[in-house]
């Protein structure tokens, strides 16, 4: 695979069609396919096509705007896509077709973009407080095959100002690499409906640095931790954590 280090455009563009099409090497795709099989995640040729389109768009825009440090095909598939698909399995179990799913602080679009690619029968909002990233996301969602998805440049707690019809109507709110969990509960309170789930994706330090404080703040603000599950993407990686919190 030939990944361009620099893509020069006279006017920086968010449109996917303005960037070269990139493909994954067979070695990269074989690893990803085996990892999906191990996790019982369905995979087909259409998914590969869509992921390569999303990857090409990300790398293209990333050439002039900071979206990610991980630009090789292998790193993208492992740390952006596979990591997101672990969340997808929880979203699938926590929601039904037609439910509203919100990705808070979506950034480069993860976990939101892979989740909607695998579960296109839900409705999605991708939020990022940085307007340029929201513009990027608005184009990226068009590549997923999901018909009901949009992006907004705001925080979750501001949803009533920009999309009041989405206030306290979501079944799942996801947050990955956004900040400390205690800081996101105010967003979850404004986004989730009663009984909805806040799906928090955290790194290896979560149990030592955040878990106890997060549990106390959840109980104080009307949330209940349903589970905290360790997840490893392969045998060489330290455990990450998927935390599911219910709004009471």
Q: What is the pLDDT of residues 93-147, one digit of tens each?
A: 999 999 999 999 999 999 999 999 999 999 999 999 999 999 999 999 999 999 9
Torsion-angle region of 189 (φ positive above 0: left; ψ -120 to 50: alpha; else: beta)? alpha
Tokens of 171: 């079944």
pLDDT at 234: 82
Q: Which domains does the chain have, with CATH numbers?
A: 86-247 (3.40.50.150)
pLDDT at 2: 39
Q: Which residues pair with 184 in a beta bridge?
A: none
Report the interhelical angle of 131-140 vs 45-62 (nearest 10°): 150
* Residues of the chain predicted below pLDDT 50: 1-9
Residue entry with tokens 């009984």: 195
SS (H, E, C) 165-187: HHCCCEEEEEEECCCCHHHCHHH
pLDDT at 11: 64
DSSP state of 98: T
In angstroms, rounded to a whole number, what is the distance separating the alpha carbons of residues 210 and 234? 24
pLDDT at 12: 84
pLDDT at 141: 98
């Amino acid at each position: 695979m030939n990944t361009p280090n620099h893509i020069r455009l006279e006017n920086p563009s968010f449109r996917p069609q303005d960037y070269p099409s990139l493909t994954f090497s067979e070695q990269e795709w074989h690893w990803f396919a085996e990892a999906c099989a191990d996790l019982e995640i369905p995979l087909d040729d259409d998914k590969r096509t869509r992921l390569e389109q999303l990857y090409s768009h990300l790398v293209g825009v990333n050439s002039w705007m900071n979206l990610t440090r991980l630009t090789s095909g292998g790193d993208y598939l492992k740390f952006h896509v596979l990591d997101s698909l672990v969340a997808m399995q929880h979203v699938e179990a926590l929601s039904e077709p037609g439910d509203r799913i919100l990705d808070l602080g979506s950034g480069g679009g993860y976990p939101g973009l892979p989740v909607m690619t695998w579960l296109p029968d839900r409705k999605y909002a991708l939020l990022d407080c940085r307007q340029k990233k929201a513009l990027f996301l608005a184009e990226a969602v068009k590549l997923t095959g999901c018909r009901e998805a949009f992006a907004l440049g705001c925080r979750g707690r501001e949803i009533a100002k920009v999309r009041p019809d989405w206030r306290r109507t979501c079944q799942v709110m996801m947050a990955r690499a956004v900040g400390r969990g205690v800081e996101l509960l105010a967003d979850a309170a404004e986004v989730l409906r009663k009984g909805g789930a806040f799906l928090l994706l955290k790194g290896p330090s979560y149990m030592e640095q955040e878990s106890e404080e997060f549990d106390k703040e959840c109980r104080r603000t009307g949330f209940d931790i349903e589970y905290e599950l360790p997840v490893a993407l392969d045998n060489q990686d330290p455990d990450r954590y998927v935390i599911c919190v219910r709004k009471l």
